[in-house]
């Protein structure tokens, strides 16, 4: 059953990664066996049972996987070394994806899975490097076909890693001190919330100090750009708890002074315009009379002509 879950998880991630839409569903189905390769694929006997979504695919799926397996066993192009690397890559990939899915909500993908990710990067760098005894798996595994499956899979998973900004919370392959410090503070606040759960107004007073410390710390980390998705998510949740569930935001309570000052300000221009209207002398223009041949030849004349 655990295996089944793993496969499903794997499948979901794949779907997600390739931003697959309904139309590419079948493509993904056929991709799956080739990636998991031989012994991983052997364990996949349970797979068809969950793939009842498209029953018409079932026979072809079987036959194609069998075909692939049989043809690759005797393939001279792939060395045992590369096969071994691929195997390990598959295992680590599955375990990392497994970890990701299980820590999706609330988000703990960095804190829980960074070790697994590091192991995955290790093996991938092994694959992409020139290996022992002049033996290179880079070409055979990464670039020998149009699909470039191993590369694509790794690329997608790296995207997730990058968008989650996990590296901001790590230093030297372990959690950074900032992140740890933040987690400690977070726990402190949450403990406080827990203890005062019954009375919200008490909670706002009691936990304000620890919450403020947490909030300020977060603000500082935001400026340093040392935030990863775990911390952001935890902070978001805490803030929602604080502001919405416990209703501890600042109340709008000094409406009267604000209105007073504003209405005073708004009143000033009225006084200004009235006083300048009443006291300032109106600017007059002196008319000048132009010299014309006939003075009557002007406006009245024009109007006469037009009437």
Q: Which residues bind another protein (CB under 8 A)?
A: 215, 235-236, 239-240, 242-244, 249-254, 257-262, 265-266, 268-269, 272-274, 276-278, 280, 282-303, 305-306
Q: Which is nearer to another protein, 24 or 247 (CB)?
A: 247
Q: Which is nearer to another protein, 1 or 278 (CB)?
A: 278
Please state, in angstroms and rounded to a whole number, the distance separating the CA atoms of residues 182 and 224.
14
Question: Phi-psi category of 19—alpha, beta or left, where left has phi over 0 and alpha has psi -120 to 50?
Answer: left
- Cα dihedral across residues 234, 240, 246, 251: positive or negative: positive
The minimum distance between CB 46 and another protein, in angstroms, equals 39
Q: Which is nearer to another protein, 11 or 242 (CB)?
A: 242
The minimum distance between CB 255 and another protein, in angstroms, equals 8
* Type and span of the H or E element at 152: helix 149-163
The minimum distance between CB 236 and another protein, in angstroms, equals 6
The minimum distance between CB 122 and another protein, in angstroms, equals 30
The minimum distance between CB 196 and another protein, in angstroms, equals 18
- Cβ–Cβ under 8 Å, residues 99 and 113: yes
* Residue 143 per-residue DSSP state: S
Specify the 3-state DSSP secondary structure of 38.
Answer: helix
Q: Which is nearer to another protein, 147 or 209 (CB)?
A: 209
Question: Which of 83, 81, 164, 113 is closest to 9 using CA atoms?
Answer: 113
Q: Which is nearer to another protein, 1 or 250 (CB)?
A: 250
């Amino acid at each position: 059953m655990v295996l089944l879950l793993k496969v499903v998880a794997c499948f979901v991630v794949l779907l997600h990664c390739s931003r697959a839409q309904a139309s590419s569903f079948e493509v993904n189905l056929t991709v799956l066996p080739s990636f998991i390769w031989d012994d991983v694929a052997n364990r996949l006997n349970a797979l068809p049972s969950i793939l009842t979504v498209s029953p018409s695919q079932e026979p072809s799926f079987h036959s194609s996987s069998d075909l692939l397996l049989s043809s690759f066993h005797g393939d001279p192009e792939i060395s045992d070394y590369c096969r071994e690397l691929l195997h390990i890559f598959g295992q680590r990939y599955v375990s990392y994806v497994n970890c990701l899915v299980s820590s999706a909500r609330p988000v703990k993908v960095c804190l829980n899975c960074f070790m697994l990710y590091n192991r995955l990067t290790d093996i991938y760098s092994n694959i992409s490097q020139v290996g022992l005894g002049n033996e290179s798996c880079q070409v055979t595994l990464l670039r020998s076909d149009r699909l470039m499956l191993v590369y694509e899979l790794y690329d997608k998973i790296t995207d997730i890693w990058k968008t989650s900004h996990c590296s901001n919370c790590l230093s030297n392959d372990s959690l950074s001190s900032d992140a740890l410090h933040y987690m400690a503070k977070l726990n402190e606040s949450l403990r406080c919330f827990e203890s005062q759960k019954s009375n919200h107004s008490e909670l706002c007073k009691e936990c304000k100090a620890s919450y403020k410390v947490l909030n300020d710390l977060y603000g500082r980390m935001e400026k340093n750009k040392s935030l990863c998705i775990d911390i952001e998510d935890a902070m978001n949740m805490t803030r929602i708890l604080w502001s919405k569930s416990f209703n501890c935001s600042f109340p709008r309570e000094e409406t009267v002074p604000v209105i007073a000052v504003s209405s005073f300000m708004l009143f000033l221009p009225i006084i200004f315009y009235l006083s300048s209207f009443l006291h300032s002398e109106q600017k007059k223009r002196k008319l000048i009379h132009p010299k014309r041949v006939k003075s009557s030849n002007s406006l009245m004349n024009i109007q006469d002509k037009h009437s």
